[in-house]
Structure 1
């Protein structure tokens, strides 16, 4: 099973490395990836929500999801799994962004983006699709730019959704039963 997954990951990366006349798409993917750097777009949304009292809890929840996803993903899982990135596994891959220094699994951009997007969806159901589209663009950009394998993205998605559901439940429990 793992051999099949590895072959699928490598197949997808090999198809993405043939970049001929895709400059517009390259720019979109670089920009999408940039939005996820350090959770930038999610931090901006969180700060906006925290600044407006009726949405303060939602903003704090998004911020908390970013902090916990970074600790779990970047601080724990990546150092346990130690999966090298596609461009390091294949030196013929030329990437279009600054080479990330950390490990590949799971995608931190995807983990934090889906944790934040789902948290926002849980608070603002009617706007959820916008947040999920943004998180999906960030996730796809990471594979397109050859800094992650597809399975890194899938794991980041699952972890992000799961983490945000757990945090949302805990936050609501604290505010309903402890205040």
Structure 2
């Protein structure tokens, strides 16, 4: 665990007002997953991109169950800012456990779902997800292994969300849905 504090202390050493502003905005996008949920809902209400929205929302649902309901309480890892409470935080102190990083996991779940359904969008979402993970280290609220686990598990949730959508399209309901679309409207998967 000591190497993780070395990484976190390095992020503390590069803090400056510009980075704090940028990464503060990025981390705010991840609060309660609101940005990704909103994106999923917007995609879902669009006939053209509905399958992307369903895959993204399914990935986020898997993420919620796995990260917040199972892993965080099970592992019960204290946050670095709880252990080293003398570090001055630039964000509010989170009240839940550290492992895995929820911001990172939700971001990579959404980015993964987009990647596996609409590859170009997925690339851009991966960039945002990467900076989401960096922001959690920068603000001293997660260990590097929390962020790494969030990345891996998030991508798994994204893959499973996309897989769920692909399987759902092959059901009776999915076939009826496809018949109702005009040719060329479906832009995902």
2:121 matched to 1:127?
yes
Q: What is the CA-CA distance between 1:34 and the residue it aligns to?
A: 0.3
The TM-score with structure 2 as length reference comes to: 0.86
The Cα of 1:165 is off from its aligned counterpart by: 1.2
Residue 175 (structure 1) aligned with residue 161 (structure 2)? no
CA deviations 1:29-57 (Å, max 9, x no partner) are 11110011111221221122112112112
Hey, what does 2:10 align to over in structure 1? 15
Indicate which of 74, 82, 89 corresponds to 1:80: 74
Contact kept? 2:67, 2:102, Cα under 8 Å: yes
SS of equivalent to 1:17 = helix
Bigger radius of gyration: 2
Deviation at 1:177, TM superposition (A): 4.5
* 1:113 lines up with 2:107 in the alignment: yes
Structure 1: gaps of 5 or more residues:
1-5
Is there any run of 5+ residues in structure 2 with no aligned partner, and where? 175-189
- From 12, 15, 21, the equivalent of 1:27 is 21
Output the CA distance in 2 between the equivalents of 1:72 and 1:83: 15
Structure 1 segments of 4 or more deviating over 3 A? none
CA distance in 1, matches of 2:119, 2:84: 42
Using structure 1 for the length normalisation, give the TM-score.
Answer: 0.91
Whether 2:54 is the aligned partner of 1:71: answer: no
Could you tell me which of 122, 147, 152 is aligned with 2:146?
152
State the distance in 1 between where 2:149 and 2:160 align.
Answer: 16
User: Quick check: 2:100–2:147 contact (8 Å CA) kept in 1?
Assistant: yes
The worse-fitting range, judged by mean Cα deviation, of 106-115 and 51-60 is 51-60
